[in-house]
Amino acid sequence: MIGHSRPTIGNSDWKILQKVLSSARLCENGCVRGLERRLKAFIGARFALAANSGTSALHLILLGLGVTRGDRVLIPSYVCSSLLNAIMYLQAKPVVCDIDAHNYNLSFAAARPKITKKVKAIILPYMFGGTTDIDKFLELGVPLVEDCAQSLGATYRGKRLGGFGAASLFSFYATKVITTGQGGMILTNSPALFSRVKNLIEYDERQDYIVRYNYKMTDLQAALGLVQLKQLNGFIAKRRAIARYYDRAFSRYGISVAVNDPGHIYYRYVIRINSPLKQFAGRLRKKGIEAKPPVFMPLHRYLGLERKLFPNTEEVFKTALSLPIYPALTASQIKLIARSVIEAL
Ligand SMILES: *Cc1c(COP(=O)(O)O)cnc(C)c1O
């Protein structure tokens, strides 16, 4: 079976873990600070704070921005429930918006009318490895949180995502672009925001008491992250090459929506199918290929909001299927996937 996603783990990953284990210093040590330094240099941000997941990174950012009970936070509907969770931890109110059906990201047209004084942040997830018109969102004057969990290394106007807004978060979950098993990172250019999130995570041996969060990354995770980050450019090149192969293979069939985004890293390769998705995925499974909807459930459905208020999300949810695309795929697997998709049509 060709799995839907799979991390790329090689000898250097094994070696670094052995090294950290034999050092007997497993918690927060040199590797965590090293990964923070490397990632902020790579993206071009001033400050970095490692966390144990993307969700906890997002929770800390919202806390650091002062989001509190009753405040509103804008998010798209077509994204994982992690965003909803981070907002709910604070008893804030999610303002769920429709998406742009072409790039799968938060729709500016849907978001703009929902901006009020109560909206304390916009979370903009860059879906599937590509982006949208960030400039327009920045002009709204609300702190913009860039969710780069799926788009590490992707660019907007030639600059890497993660340094545009008030803060950004990254995820190193097992299936993300690089992995530490579980892990996350906050980047920001704001010294004030950085000192607030740092204060919230450094809970031990403090003079004062406030509620703080044990969201720390371990050195085992960070060591893996350092080795993975070194390979990132190669990973991205491989993802883009696979995407170009699929593009060519599918060009005559009208199933791949051209994303037309030169900075895309193809965390996901999404095709649009007009027949029932489950049956189509079933036909692929029979050929040994696992394809999945790229988002399990739109958030407006979880929240019981009216479906007709989210026409693009609904349309995409009913037609979008994500194919395996990751550096560990072999040339013959890539060929088999493309051929099987065409046969399954
Ligand atoms: C994975 C993901 C997250 C959450 O990251 P975790 O490390 O799994 O907590 C947040 N936003 C998006 C867009 C993601 O894909």
Residue 258 confidence (pLDDT) above 70: no
CA 118–ligand 1 middle distance (angstroms): 25
**Per-residue confidence (pLDDT) for residue 311, from 0 to 100:** 98
The 10s digit of each residue's pLDDT in 111-162 is 999 999 999 999 999 999 999 999 999 999 999 999 999 999 999 999 999 9
**Per-residue confidence (pLDDT) for residue 39, from 0 to 100:** 98
Arithmetic mean of pLDDT over the chain: 96
Residue 38 confidence (pLDDT) above 80: yes
Instruction: Tell me the H-state helices in the chain.
Output: 11-23, 30-43, 54-64, 82-89, 108-111, 134-138, 191-201, 219-230, 232-250, 277-286, 299-302, 311-319, 331-344
Is ligand 1 within 6 A of the CB of residue 143?
no
CA 120–ligand 1 middle distance (angstroms): 21
Residue 274 is encoded by which pair of tokens? Answer: 């007009």
Residue 62 confidence (pLDDT) above 80: yes
CA dihedral 201, 205, 207, 213 (to 10 degrees): 20
CA 332–ligand 1 middle distance (angstroms): 30
The 10s digit of each residue's pLDDT in 263-321 is 999 999 999 999 999 999 999 999 999 999 999 999 999 999 999 999 999 999 999 99
What average pLDDT does range 186-199 have in this prediction? 98
Environment class of 266 (CB within 10 Å of its CB; exposed 0-12, middle 13-18, buried 19+): buried
What average pLDDT does range 177-201 have in this prediction? 98
pTM above 0.95, yes or no: yes
**Quick one: pLDDT band at residue 24, thresholds 50, 70, 90?**
confident
Is ligand 1 within 6 A of the CB of residue 76?
no
**Per-residue confidence (pLDDT) for residue 109, from 0 to 100:** 98
Percent of the chain with pLDDT over 90: 95
Q: Which atom of ligand 1 is nearest to the CA of 176?
A: 1
Residue 26 confidence (pLDDT) above 90: no
Residue 92 confidence (pLDDT) above 90: yes
What average pLDDT does range 219-231 have in this prediction? 97
The 10s digit of each residue's pLDDT in 194-209 is 999 999 999 999 999 9
CA 55–ligand 1 middle distance (angstroms): 6
